[in-house]
Amino acid sequence: MTQGIIAAGSVHTAEAGAEMLRAGGNAVDAAVAACFASFMAEPTLVAPGGGGFALVFRQRDAHAWLYDFFVDFPGKGMAREAWPSPPDFYPITVDYGPTHQIFHIGRASVATPGLIAGLCRLQEDLGTFPLAEVLQPAIQLARNGVPLGDFGAYVGEILHGIFSADETLARLFGAPNAFLRPDTLYKNPDLADFLEALGREGPDLFYRGDIAQAILADQRAHGGLLTPQDLAEYQVIVREPLHQHYRQYEFLTNPPPSRGGVLIAFSLALLEEYALPRIPFGSPSHLELLTEVMRQTDLARPTFEITGDAGFFLARPHIEEHAAELARRLRSHARHHPEVPVPPREHSNTSHLSVLDGQGNLIALTTTAGEGPGFIVPGTGIILNNILGEADLHPNGFLQGEPGKRIGSMMAPTLVLKDNKPVLAVGSGGANRIRSAILQVFLNYTDMHMDLTHAVDAPRIHFERNGLQMEPGFPRETVEKLREWGYDITLWPSRHMFFGGAHSVGLSPAGYFEGAGDARRAGAVVRVI
């Protein structure tokens, strides 16, 4: 048995990882098993045909790797003139309650999937068990079924138009009589068959073999853009993590071309000049500082979007320019606020898991399939992605990308070390709120000296589009003071998945395992002792 702890977006996801730890596996075995299980345990958030990132720290050599298995723009080897006309690409409105957003779904919304390749590569490089063994919990869930539960049904209802777009997909989720109900038992025997074959054949099955042929046949028949070259030539990229020192900690996160980690690192560089541990949590000064740091990060962001150069973006002169403006604004509460560029809305249907094992190995793994493409690949049980259908990921227009190019993301799986020892693994779903959720959990755990449960559960804020979003739980006098200072505040009635899902694990200063499943996204923790 290997001691350890896992935090994830479902108790079934977490239990799959814990099963590997009990069998003597390491943190990577646990994370890979859990992520495969999430296809069943979190099916309205996670799908096999998506993409993601994993940040891994191996204690024995104090080394960290960022595995990038996010999606590529498709169409390699296909001339534009040969594209389907019209492509299967159509809009659908998603009702988020207070707001609505339009996404596009269909076969032509599918980017080249990377998740299967990434999980298999992680297991091959850093796991200890055969792939077939870590697949077993997911296979059992696919055969036996998992209730959608309240949260899965809630997300499914938000995405009702997507899950009901195809009759076969809708039946998988209980249509017509139990469609997307909490007690709907989600079974997927075709997915179980695929996973069993994957354990025997490896990722070639998905990228060159029978599953690839099924995906490509469906794409050809229904106006999609994926080509044999897209699948056969897909590559997992292993990158050096972005390193940022903050006080006595080493902050490791997702480097470019993804943007979330760079933006968090920028915020930390601004915050380091302030004695945050001496500012009471939830006080006007605390929230004003966080808000103005978020504002300066947003104002600085276009520089990174234009150049893609993290070195320049995080260089002292650029930081000092915004630090001076931050200090000036904090000196005077009543002031005119500069217009902040409207940030893109990115894939919000994202899930994260974190694992720490008894050897000190640490992994943070974040995945997404967008909102889902509105169909299932016939005979495979596989749902792909609709990441080409998210307008804000494609500023030059829909379907205008370069075939084979990796698409950008806000996802930022993050590890924190101190003296080359594990402190924290954290990440989040939640589109633009990913970076504010990770930032606040990190600061709560380190600067504010909260235990991890309180660090994750504590109310959060998010600044965006010149508006301050606030969860309930802050003192009333703080809210009133911030309004007096001129902030445009939206006070939410309850904690909400809007503010992320930062499922986290850590090692306390006393040396014991801590974990927190974020209740905003039905998180769960399992300890193996």
pTM reported for the whole predicted model: 0.95
Residues 6+ positions from 520 with CB-CB distance below 8 Å = 495, 496, 497, 499, 500, 501
First-to-final CA distance of the chain: 8
Domains and CATH numbers, the chain: 242-342+412-518 (3.60.20)
Closest CA to 363 of 136, 30, 13, 121: 30
pLDDT digits (tens, 9 = 90+) for 121-177: 999 999 999 999 999 999 999 999 999 999 999 999 999 999 999 999 999 999 999
- 340 has a pLDDT exceeding 90: no
Query: Helices 316-330 and 260-271: crossing angle, nearest 10°?
Result: 60
- 397 has a pLDDT exceeding 80: no
Q: How far is CA 324 from CA 122, 296, 527, in A?
A: 43, 10, 45
307 Cα distance to chain centroid: 24
pLDDT digits (tens, 9 = 90+) for 365-392: 999 999 999 999 999 999 999 999 986 6
- 344 has a pLDDT exceeding 90: no
Closest CA to 36 of 211, 191, 263, 185: 191
Determine contact, residues 219/406, Cβ cutoff 8 Å. no
- 9 has a pLDDT exceeding 70: yes
For residues 249 and 174, give the distance between their C-alpha atoms in angstroms, rounded to a whole number: 48
Q: In this predicted structure, what is the pLDDT of residue 432?
A: 83
Determine contact, residues 362/27, Cβ cutoff 8 Å. yes
Residues 6+ positions from 189 with CB-CB distance below 8 Å = 142, 143, 381
70-84, 89-103, 201-215: range with lowest mean pLDDT: 89-103
Query: 1 falls in which pLDDT band (50, 70, 90)?
Result: confident
Q: What is the mean pLDDT of residues 59-82?
A: 95
How many residues are listed for the chain in this entry? 529
Q: In this predicted structure, what is the pLDDT of residue 93?
A: 83
Q: What sign does the dihedral 81-86-88-89 (CA atoms) show?
A: positive
> Tokens 């974190």 sit at which residue?
354
299 token code pair:
């104002």
3-state SS of the chain: helix, strand, coil percent to 5?
40, 20, 40
216-220, 361-365, 415-419, 494-498: range with lowest mean pLDDT: 494-498
Q: In this predicted structure, what is the pLDDT of residue 337?
A: 63
What average pLDDT is seen over the chain?
93
Q: What is the mean pLDDT of residues 268-295?
A: 96
Q: What is the mean pLDDT of residues 23-42?
A: 98
305 Cα distance to chain centroid: 20
- 324 has a pLDDT exceeding 90: yes
What string of H, E and C letters represents the secondary structure of 230-250?
Answer: HHHCCCCEEECCEEEEECCEE
Looking only at the bridges linking them, the beta strands covering 100-105 and 4-8 are unpaired
Closest CA to 478 of 270, 336, 470: 470
Q: In this predicted structure, what is the pLDDT of residue 100?
A: 67
Closest CA to 69 of 246, 268, 237, 213: 237
Q: In this predicted structure, what is the pLDDT of residue 102?
A: 85
Q: In this predicted structure, what is the pLDDT of residue 347?
A: 43
Q: Which of 350, 367, 380, 478 is flagged as catalytic?
A: 350
Q: What is the mean pLDDT of residues 348-363?
A: 92
Q: What is the DSSP letter of 276?
A: G
For residues 504 and 515, give the distance between their C-alpha atoms in angstroms, rounded to a whole number: 6
List alpha helices for 233-352, DSSP H.
Answer: 260-271, 284-307, 310-313, 316-330
- 477 has a pLDDT exceeding 70: yes
For residues 348 and 500, give the distance between their C-alpha atoms in angstroms, rounded to a whole number: 9
Query: 346 falls in which pLDDT band (50, 70, 90)?
Result: very low
Tell me if residue 253 falls in helix, strand or coil.
strand
Q: What is the DSSP letter of 89?
A: -
Per the annotation, the verdict on 93 as an active-site residue is no
- 363 has a pLDDT exceeding 60: yes
Determine contact, residues 18/5, Cβ cutoff 8 Å. no
* Amino acid present at 481: K
Q: What is the mean pLDDT of residues 323-329?
A: 94
